[in-house]
Amino acid sequence: MDAKPQDAEQLASLQEKPPVGRKRAVTARAVVISLILIPLNALWIVHTEIVRYAGHPTTTSLFFNVIFCLSALIGINALLVRYRPRWVFTQGELIVIFTLLSLGSCMVGHDMYQVLIADLTHPFWYATPENKWEAQFFKHLPRWLMLQDDAQKTVLKGYFLGGTSLYHWHFIKAWIRPVLIWTGFFMVLIYIMMCLNVILRKQWSDRERLTFPIIQLPFQMTDPNFTLFKSRTMWIGFALAGVLNLINALHANIPSIPSIPLRELNLQTYLVDRPWNAIGWTPLHFVPFVIGLGFLLPTELSFSCWFFYWFWKLQQVLTSAYGWNEGKPDFPYINDQSTGAYLGVCVFALWLARNYLKEVLKKAVGLRFQVDDRDEPMSYRAAVVGVVGGFVGVVAFGIYGGMPFEIAVLFMVIYFMLAVAITRMRAELGSPAHDLHYAGPDQMISRIGGTQNIPSKALAFFSLAWGFNRAYRTHPMPHQLEGLKMAEWGDFSPRRFMWWMLVASLWGSFCAFWALLHVYYQLGAATGKIVGPSVYFGWEPYNRLSSWITLPTRPDAWAASFTVAGFLFTMFLTVMRVTFIWWPLQPVGFAVSSSWAMHLMWLSLFIAWLSKFLILRSLGLQGYRRALPFFLGLVLGEFLVGGILNIIGLVFGLQIYRFWG
């Protein structure tokens, strides 16, 4: 989060840029391949994340399904180099495919339409005389945003019980309206994100020179000279991760084959006495691809991630030891502290850019300015107008959905502050995960403001907004900015690329609805044929809504205090980081370390940090550069071998070894 140039070892992770002047990037074949792969990947994601619950590609910053597809194209490219050189994909084309496919995958991801589609249907099927949902909140629901069914509930029966097909006009007709409305709403959100990225790109990329660690792997993979794939060190890491996955996949199907235990231990099992049992779920997972990604991170971030993970655990133990949670079951309000931390990251990033943003606004309104937008995907004036106009649109949507004006404005302001924070985290330090479960604007407003002071219609809209605020692992905004950064590295025009990114999101929206509905009408969302949380995603917001309405809450001063405390502590960490070069703690590590993903990542990030620290200390930057391909090989081996085994398991109905999630 500092304004000074990045440290030397982080800069060392940047490889030399490829030759400039590549003429082919956003070509017809790159776009067509992307548009073909998006629905296929949507179906793959639904089957692996929902049907089999056997892998979660969209819950980390780098989607393994996209890396898998990119690897397949690179393999084809290697054959083309030898047999059809004129047909070879350029690096720019591969970057375009990677970015468009990532954006398409966001829409069907674990925290987007998988949750949204459950919210649109759940209450009408699960309302019973016992839970009294119909009397409690049906009159408050914005029915125009939800699925409309006939009296016999035939559309809902097909959705929840399966055994039929989506491709009946009666079903399609019922879904047309919510699909079009929500696609339109999400496209406005995504357009605002793109405009924000255009406004912030030059400040973050050119002035602060952020290094975008997450895209180092795909960029090196697409090197036209295949430099990474010629490295023996990379193939050693690849083989290690691949063999681990293969052996454990064989064990899952043939128990007589010994497994290699990578994810069986949980410290909570051994800590049974108070206060140590308050530590909660503390798995010790050895995840090769996380070790590989962690090696790309600055050492202060990888250190901060596992350090603050134990900082949260310490809070839980102390709370239990001293009984601080008596009468306050949410104490120490970890989600609220994390929300404050994310907001702090956003505020400081904007404060660093304050002078630059003033120049952007001057340019937008026609005053004298000192910034140049000729190399941007759109003019700064168009971007500012897009942000303002789009924001008015989404606020109006919220008001029409049931929120009062002031709540709608606050809701959307918080949402976009979190979006900016997530994008900044990825651009600066390459955070491998950014969950922020159960801490979005709906949770924040209802907890701090008290549900007794919020109209029931607004609370009902919060339940639908759960579809894009349950967590933020598949957020599109950082993928947009990373695509623009790779366009800069590949030296191709970002303007045409930007519009195709928006098209990919639009197409991805329709494909997400199609893949989910295709599977649900075939297998049934509420049947035993689906292992994943297809119904659970609906229980969460509507149980919460029922509780809000039947037991209204007063403003929670403790939640507000801890949100402010998380914000202020982030500011303290940031000031210390800027003031003292030796300061080892990153505010981003504080923000992301309380997440679900960090439970699974902390040990691997510790291993990555220790490995990088020792290599830099003993062998210097040259040693780091020599070791880097091995760690990239860990990521590739896990993603490719794990992806192949995942597909084989889906196709042949075998047990799938989950290397992640």
What residue spans define the domains of the chain?
Answer: 8-652
The answer on pLDDT for 335 being more than 60 is yes
- What is the pLDDT, as a whole number, of residue 661? 79
pLDDT, mean of residues 350-378? 91
- What is the pLDDT, as a whole number, of residue 264? 85
Other beta carbons within 10 Å of 226: 14
| Tokens coding 433 | 């995960």
- Measured at the CA of 201, the angle between CA 197 and CA 206, to 5 degrees, comes to 175
The answer on pLDDT for 484 being more than 80 is yes
pLDDT, mean of residues 488-510? 95
Amino acid letter, 209:
R
Tell me how far apart the alpha carbons of residues 291 and 286 are, in angstroms, rounded to a whole number: 8
User: What string of H, E and C letters represents the secondary structure of 396-410?
Assistant: HHHHHHCCCHHHHHH
- pLDDT tens track for 347-363: 999 999 999 999 999 99
- pLDDT tens track for 591-621: 999 989 999 999 999 999 999 999 999 999 9
What secondary structure does DSSP assign to 592-637, as a single string?
A: HTTSHHHHHHHHHHHHHHHHHHHHHHHHHHHHHHHHHHHHHHHHHH
Amino acid letter, 396:
A
Helix, strand and coil percent figures for the chain, each rounded to 5: 70, 0, 30
CB 345 within 8 A of CB 2: no
SS3 266: strand
Tell me how far apart the alpha carbons of residues 601 and 55 are, in angstroms, rounded to a whole number: 15
- What is the pLDDT, as a whole number, of residue 491? 87
pLDDT-derived band at 67 (thresholds 50, 70, 90) equals very high
pLDDT mean across residues, the chain: 94
- What is the pLDDT, as a whole number, of residue 422? 97
The answer on pLDDT for 22 being more than 50 is no
CB proximity list for 272: less than 8 A, separation 6 or greater: none
- What is the pLDDT, as a whole number, of residue 251? 97
Other beta carbons within 10 Å of 83: 8
Instruction: Using only the alpha carbons of the chain, give its radius of gyration.
Output: 24
The answer on pLDDT for 12 being more than 70 is no
What DSSP designation does 583 have? Answer: -
Residue 567 CA, chain-centre distance (Å), reads: 22
Residue 457, Cβ density class (10 Å: 0-12 exposed, 13-18 middle, ≥19 buried)? middle
Tokens 């979006």, residue located: 419
pLDDT-derived band at 20 (thresholds 50, 70, 90) equals very low
The answer on pLDDT for 58 being more than 60 is yes
Tokens 């195709």, residue located: 500
- pLDDT tens track for 203-246: 999 999 999 999 999 999 999 999 999 999 999 999 999 999 99
Of 15-24, 348-357, 484-493, 545-554, the least confident? 15-24
DSSP element (H, E) containing 283: strand 283-284
Tokens 């009468």, residue located: 327
pLDDT, mean of residues 174-193? 98
| Tokens coding 377 | 């995907």
The answer on pLDDT for 486 being more than 90 is yes
What secondary structure does DSSP assign to 302-370, as a single string?
A: HHHHHHHHHHHHHHHHHHHHHTTTTT-TTTT-HHHHHHHHHHHHHHHHHHHTHHHHHHHHHHHHTS--S
Question: pTM for the full model?
Answer: 0.94
Amino acid letter, 406:
E
- What is the pLDDT, as a whole number, of residue 23? 54
CB 140 within 8 A of CB 456: yes
From 113, 31, 91, select the one nearest 503 (Cα to Cα): 31
Could you give the C-alpha distances from 88 to 24, 79, 268, 338, 504, in angstroms and in order?
A: 11, 9, 53, 46, 23
Burial state string for 124-135 with b = 16 or more CB within 10 A and e = fewer than 16: bbbbeeeeebee
Tell me how far apart the alpha carbons of residues 452 and 323 are, in angstroms, rounded to a whole number: 28
SS3 284: strand
Tell me how far apart the alpha carbons of residues 257 and 260 are, in angstroms, rounded to a whole number: 10
From 187, 279, 289, 252, select the one nearest 505 (Cα to Cα): 187
CB 162 within 8 A of CB 524: yes
Could you give the C-alpha distances from 524 to 42, 156, 454, 653, in angstroms and in order?
A: 18, 10, 35, 18
Tell me how far apart the alpha carbons of residues 467 and 490 are, in angstroms, rounded to a whole number: 35
pLDDT-derived band at 2 (thresholds 50, 70, 90) equals very low
CB 283 within 8 A of CB 265: yes
- pLDDT tens track for 277-310: 999 999 999 999 999 999 999 999 999 999 999 9
Amino acid letter, 610:
L
